[in-house]
Structure 1
Amino acid sequence: MANPIVSRAELAVGANPMTVKGVVQKTSILLGLSAITGLGFFFYALAAGLSRGFITIAAFGSMFAAFGLAIFITFKPQKAKTLAVPYALLEGVFLGGISLFFMRMYPSVPVTALCATFVTAAVMLGMYRSGVIKVTEKFRSIMMSAIFAIMILYLVQWGFIAFGSSLPFLFDGGMIAIGFSLFVVVIASFSLLLDFDNVERGVAMGISEDYEWLFSIGILATLVWMYIEFMRLLSYLQD
């Protein structure tokens, strides 16, 4: 399993095995909850005139809380069924806040990024189903290395931000930053192929349907990552 949320999980075979349909249904539920929460927070913040500082705290507080839940679920996959809805709601608040942040600087970016995310997801699904790109063990290994390298860079960047600085070149909006952002968008997009393959492997192994929530959380996390990276890339290009 390649999604970090799924990769360390010890999954159990059950009497009622998971199905692709079940994962799709649960992913749709989580996406719907995130969208409703995100739009609700977005329009409430606009209507109430919430300060930029409050929105930032709410958005990034939710992001770190969601990240904490994801880490917990990674080591306690049996809790995914219970924590899936709270995770989706936290992601929704984060998405609403970060979308408002980008919209105030670049009004067209959030909608464009949302369209790009779902179009890319559809293309990735088509490529996976048609076998244009096959998820081999080598492909999986390369993707995992790239994903963890990006995660480490982001953690280092957050450390720099905490001290009022930033990693040179990678996040300054210049040509190197655009190239790096485009690379991350590609990696995030290809991560969906791993998510699709994870689901098929889970179905083939007869994993219990309770873990459908785990795979749905993984897909939601990938889509959120894609959306954020598309917004970052588009904002760089507008600059």
Structure 2
Amino acid sequence: MATSNPAFSQTPAFQNSSAMNSTVSAEQLQELYASPSATAADTDRMTVEDTIKKTGISFGILVVGALIGWVVPGLWIAGMVVGLVLAFVNIFHNRKKLPSAGLTLAYAGAQGIFIGGISRFYEEIASGVVVQAVLGTVVVVGVTLALFASGKIRASAKATKIWLIAMIGYVVFSLINLVLIWTGANSDPWGLSGSVKIFGIPLGLIIGVLVVIMCAYSLVLDFDMIQQGVKNRAPRAVGWAGAFGIMLTVIWLYLELLRIFAIARN
């Protein structure tokens, strides 16, 4: 770089730059330009590609856990308890500290065991529901991701507020339904979801459709979090929070679809 301004040409920075330019050959410059871009490991910053890799690893461990839970009877109960505890641990840990790969993968393994055992249970009472639930989960996740990537759906403050209200209502209904089933106040295996019908349609199917929509929007929130993290150059470790959020939502979606198809069979 040349300059006619003596104020710049006499500065040490300019002289050092000139000296460096004179010693760097054309071949060396070409090698610098041809070298690969810095990766997430090099910059220690969150990227979409790195988050996808972390998510893939998490789901790989979840699948292995599911195979174990399917083969070993009764182990899914322990997986359910451990997975529930680790879910809360991850949530509170991620709010105060950088997300932990160990905690995320431990959650994936425990939930995998639970998913495998509960899937086998559902398959025994309604053959074929596991395949239906898996295909349904893939379709919902794929469509939601495509719509988000195309910009057709986005997270908004108003939609998130509605989602939170619906979530609270769903949790309250689920707790009441469990109490009715456990106490024997409702003899239907599905509780209110199966015994209450609206225009001949079990309440569980109607609520189930609404919950699937809630799951889809929860995925939008997960994708938005990852997008904002990359945009704000968050630390690379935050990618584990993105993987945990997607995994949590997909598991919820899968379990809800299992229940919907099982109720429909009955």
Query: What TM-score do you get using the length of structure 2 for normalisation?
Result: 0.74
Per the alignment, residue 232 of structure 1 pairs with: 259
- The letter for the 2-side match of 1:205 is N
Q: Structure 1 segments of 4 or more deviating over 6 A?
A: none
The offset of 1:234, in angstroms, is 0.7
The offset of 1:85, in angstroms, is 1.2
User: Is residue 127 from structure 1 mapped to residue 147 from structure 2 by the alignment?
Assistant: yes
The offset of 1:152, in angstroms, is 3.3
Aligned-partner Cα distance in 2 for 1:104–1:215: 34
Aligned-partner Cα distance in 1 for 2:232–2:109: 30
User: Is residue 39 from structure 1 mapped to residue 67 from structure 2 by the alignment?
Assistant: yes
Give the number of the structure whose alpha-carbon radius of gyration is greater: 2
Structure 1 residues 163-214: Cα deviation after superposition (integer angstroms, max 9, x where no partner): 3445962354742221111211221122111111111111122221112111
Match of 1:187 among 205, 214, 217: 214
What is the aligned-residue RMSD (CA, Å)?
2.0
Cα 1:197–1:209, aligned 2, differ >3 Å: closer, same or farther? Answer: same
Question: Where do 1:78-227 residues align within 5 Å?
Answer: 78-165=98-185, 169-172=192-195, 174=197, 175-227=202-254
Instruction: Structure 2: give runs of 5+ residues left out of the alignment.
Output: 1-42
Task: Name the SS of the counterpart of 2:100 in structure 1.
Answer: helix
Aligned-partner Cα distance in 2 for 1:172–1:67: 28
Q: Which has the higher contact order (CA 8 A, sep 6+)?
A: 1
Cα 1:172–1:80, aligned 2, differ >3 Å: closer, same or farther? Answer: farther
**Equivalent pair of 1:173/1:236 in contact (CA under 8 Å):** no
Instruction: Structure 1: give runs of 5+ residues left out of the alignment.
Output: 1-14
**Equivalent pair of 2:177/2:191 in contact (CA under 8 Å):** no
The offset of 1:238, in angstroms, is 1.2
Aligned-partner Cα distance in 1 for 2:86–2:185: 28
Cα 1:70–1:187, aligned 2, differ >3 Å: closer, same or farther? Answer: same
Aligned pairs, how many? 214
Per the alignment, residue 9 of structure 1 pairs with: none
Match of 2:49 among 12, 16, 21: 21
**Equivalent pair of 2:155/2:220 in contact (CA under 8 Å):** yes
The offset of 1:98, in angstroms, is 0.6
Aligned-partner Cα distance in 2 for 1:171–1:134: 34
Query: What TM-score do you get using the length of structure 1 for normalisation?
Result: 0.82
**Equivalent pair of 2:180/2:191 in contact (CA under 8 Å):** no
User: Is residue 30 from structure 1 mapped to residue 70 from structure 2 by the alignment?
Assistant: no
Aligned-partner Cα distance in 2 for 1:195–1:157: 28
Per the alignment, residue 67 of structure 1 pairs with: 84
Aligned-partner Cα distance in 1 for 2:180–2:84: 19
Structure 1 stretch displaced more, 156-165 or 61-70: 156-165
